[in-house]
Amino acid sequence: MSACIEGDLPRRPRFEVRFATSPEEIRATQKLRYRIFAGELGADIDGGDEGIDHDAYDPFCRHLMVIEPGSQRIVACTRLLTDRNAAAAGGFYSASEFDLAMLDALPGRLMEVGRTCVDADYRSGAVIATLWQGIAACIVEEGYDYLFGCASIGLDDGGATAHAILEYIRTHHLAPPAQRVRPYIRLPAADVRITEKPKMPPLLKAYLSLGAKACGDAYWDRDFNCADVFMLLNVSALHPRYARHFLGRHSNTGSVVALAA
């Protein structure tokens, strides 16, 4: 007769992360993007009858999904554009907002993260952590040296919060001059200022926690009504605390499943 100890049972991960492997899964991530960007944030997106957010870069990207195992619901997604695929795509997406000449001087391999969004019902630390574990697994397995992308700050209050956050970033998290980028449309000055500590958007907070640097002034994205901050992470300078967490194969909040190319 044997006893089964509950604590010894394998714990089912709350969330899983993997790349989309079919056109249907990619379309599902595009629908999530549309719901968030157009439906929630009011971005000016022509999603057609199907209500999808897509652009010319999508075919050259790999689409990373966070999935709730029980329901198989896609609760978060982002897309990754490697330096090699960017050459075929005509450049990185961020080049439409910034002069990225400084990237040419960076040694090693580069990867861009973009179009990141999380379902409104699942905006928790567990989902963000699981998404970053998937990104980290790709970095380690394929040997990327730099990760970059745009982190957005909403402008619903006329830009007051965005300018407060940008002032903090300039003081504490600014990249060296050789790693600065120039926005093609600068964020205009705000009419008002806030006195309380501003709330950091989750994606920007994650970048800063990992040790990423802001590479200069923000871009004014009028279609999305937000300020985009170009963030650059030198993988070799990843904050040790988060390197142990995100570069591990497993954590308490989710699991990294096999990432299909």
Separation of alpha carbons 224 and 229, rounded Å? 13
What are the Cα distances from residue 259, in Å, to 83, 112, 171, 209? Answer: 19, 17, 37, 24
Are 98 and 83 a contacting pair, CB within 8 Å? no
Separation of alpha carbons 160 and 191, rounded Å? 7
Give the length of the chain.
261
- In the chain, where are the structural domains located? 10-256
**pTM: predicted TM-score of the whole model, two decimal places:** 0.85
Q: What is the pLDDT of residues 145-185, one digit of tens each?
A: 999 999 999 998 999 999 999 999 999 999 999 999 999 99
Q: What is the CA radius of gyration of the chain?
A: 19
Grade residue 192 by pLDDT with cuts at 50, 70 and 90: confident
Q: Which fold has domain 10-256?
A: Aminopeptidase (3.40.630)
Q: What is the pLDDT of residues 25-69, one digit of tens each?
A: 999 999 999 999 998 888 888 887 789 999 999 999 999 999 999
The terminus-to-terminus CA distance of the chain in angstroms comes to: 46
Separation of alpha carbons 118 and 5, rounded Å? 36
Are 17 and 246 a contacting pair, CB within 8 Å? no
Q: What is the pLDDT of residues 199-255, one digit of tens each?
A: 999 889 989 988 999 999 999 999 889 999 999 999 888 766 666 655 554 333 344
Phi, psi of 144 (to 5 degrees): -90, 145
Q: What is the pLDDT of residues 75-107, one digit of tens each?
A: 999 999 999 999 999 999 999 999 999 999 999
| HSE-up (13 A, CA, CB side) for residue 194 | 17
